[in-house]
């Protein structure tokens, strides 16, 4: 299957906007002429208070500004720069490096479809195409995009919907997912990662919760599966027994059984030093 890629070879847009070297560098904004919303200022100052170097708070500060403005607009950058006493150029360099910070207007709902290897092998490319058909090219409220890896291979194919991990998503669930996003409802709540396999927040018993999450309930688990080991038992009580050594109790060997291995050198007690043996 042909994977859609940009002209530079990647499945993600990349950094294609050159720097305008003809512009003078912007100074640190003047607090007297740069109004900053009180709530945003409080969030930025709280983040700065956590670090000895205020520049360590740049990411949470930019995310706070993005939540307020919808994207890291020039106004948002100036407000963060004013509070943190940094140049807008410094903050713009950070914002353009991290692709979860938007330097252009995007839809307020972020739907990121993982298209890395595990998800791709499980149908993520078809999932993205189906979502794209459902959303369209001109929906101003939904920011749909590929994502190189979201680190949730166990629920492939999956997507992050406004930071909520959802999966595995079937193709026939796409319309329901988009309807949830547009309606302001939790997206495919039964498929959310936080409810797999246990969740304390759902008001239901464990069997119903497992069923909602698509997990087998303990009462209906396959009885043919071998029981999980509970302890090493006698093997742990015999420190001189090794895999392949004779089993004194049965006349056989412990080959293939759980038994402790040899003690690592770092765990062995150091040899006692006898001053009488000192050649000096």
CA 261 to chain centroid: 36
**Has residue 80 been placed in a domain?**
yes
Task: Yes or no: say if 114 and 156 are a contact pair by the CB < 8 Å rule.
Answer: yes
Residues 113, 165, single domain; the answer is yes
Task: Yes or no: say if 65 and 72 are a contact pair by the CB < 8 Å rule.
Answer: yes
Q: How many domains, the chain?
A: 2
**Has residue 56 been placed in a domain?**
yes
Residues 115, 189, single domain; the answer is yes
CATH number for the domain that contains residue 113: 3.40.30.10
Residues 123, 188, single domain; the answer is yes
Q: What is the pLDDT of residue 130?
A: 95
**Has residue 160 been placed in a domain?**
yes
**Has residue 213 been placed in a domain?**
no
The pTM of this model reads 0.58
**Has residue 126 been placed in a domain?**
yes
- Widest CA span of the chain, in angstroms? 88
Full pLDDT tens readout for the chain, 280 residues: 566 677 767 766 665 666 677 888 889 999 999 999 999 999 999 999 999 999 999 999 999 999 999 999 999 999 999 999 999 999 999 999 888 899 989 888 999 999 999 999 999 999 999 999 999 877 889 999 988 899 999 999 999 999 999 999 999 999 999 999 999 999 999 999 988 765 444 455 545 544 554 444 444 444 444 444 444 344 444 444 444 444 444 444 444 444 444 544 444 445 554 555 555 5
Residues 85, 116, single domain; the answer is no
Find all residues with CB under 8 Å of 222, minimum gap 6, and list them: 216
**Has residue 155 been placed in a domain?**
yes
Question: Can you give the residue range of the structural domain that contains 80?
Answer: 38-97
**Has residue 119 been placed in a domain?**
yes
Kindly give the interhelix angle for 174-183 and 124-135, rounded to the nearest 10 degrees: 50
Beta bridge partners, 192, equal: 166
d(CA 158, CA 115): 9
Residues 126, 164, single domain; the answer is yes
């Amino acid at each position: 299957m042909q994977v859609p890629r940009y002209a530079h070879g990647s499945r993600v847009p990349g950094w294609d906007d050159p720097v305008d070297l003809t512009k003078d560098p912007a100074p640190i904004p003047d607090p007297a002429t740069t109004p900053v919303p009180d709530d945003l200022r409080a969030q930025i100052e709280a983040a700065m208070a956590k670090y000895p170097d205020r520049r360590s708070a740049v990411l949470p500060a930019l995310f706070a500004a993005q939540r307020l403005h919808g994207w890291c607009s020039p106004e948002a950058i100036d407000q963060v720069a004013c509070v943190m006493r940094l140049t807008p150029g410094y903050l713009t360099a950070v914002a353009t490096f991290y692709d979860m910070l938007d330097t252009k207007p995007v839809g307020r709902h972020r739907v990121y479809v993982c298209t890395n290897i595990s998800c791709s092998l499980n149908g993520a490319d078809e999932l993205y195409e189906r979502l794209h058909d459902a959303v369209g090219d001109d929906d101003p409220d939904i920011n749909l995009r590929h994502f190189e890896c979201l680190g949730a291979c166990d629920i492939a194919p999956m997507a992050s919907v406004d930071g909520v991990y959802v999966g595995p998503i079937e193709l026939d669930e796409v319309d329901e997912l988009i309807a949830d996003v547009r309606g302001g409802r939790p997206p495919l709540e039964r498929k959310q990662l936080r409810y797999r396999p246990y969740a304390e927040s759902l008001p239901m018993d464990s069997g119903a919760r497992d069923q909602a999450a698509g997990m087998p309930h303990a009462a209906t688990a396959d009885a043919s599966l071998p029981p999980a080991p509970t302890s090493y038992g006698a093997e742990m009580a015999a420190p001189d027994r090794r895999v392949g050594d004779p089993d004194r109790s049965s006349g056989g060997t412990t080959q293939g059984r759980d038994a402790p291995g040899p003690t690592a050198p770092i765990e062995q007690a150091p040899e006692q030093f006898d001053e009488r043996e000192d050649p000096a």
